[in-house]
Amino acid sequence: MNPKAERLAKLVKELRSSQSQYKFAKVLGVSRSSVTFWELGQAWPDTENLQKLADLKGWNFSDLQGYLAEGELPSGEPVYRLESILGAIRNLPSDAVAEVAAVAVKTLANRSISA
């Protein structure tokens, strides 16, 4: 596997974490086999799916390209930027958006109680 494919595989596995390939694929809106092929270095995501991966990581597309091409991590900027987080949420299926909303409501409620 070439270094670029190795970095993609590492990133996908990191983002997937303990989720099954099937569940992670559902979050991205791709097939499970796509996730498998990316992790094995046998296929490359299209631009739209690369953007989804960047969003999930909290990077912009240029950050992702630099990482995949050269292994360079973004410097001088916070890893999680609001626009990237919102982009990731927009790409989630409805059930996952509902889960994010529920966590947001609980977080706000807890903050208002402790304030």
pLDDT digits (tens, 9 = 90+) for 40-96: 999 999 999 999 999 888 888 988 999 999 988 876 555 556 666 777 788 788 888
Domains observed in the chain: 3-88 (1.10.260.40)
Backbone φ and ψ for 19, nearest 5 degrees, come out as: -70, 150
Interior/surface letters 22-33, b for 16+ CB within 10 angstroms, e for the rest? eebbbbbebeee
CB 38 within 8 A of CB 8: yes
Q: What is the mean pLDDT of residues 23-39?
A: 95
Band the pLDDT of 39: cuts 50, 70, 90.
very high
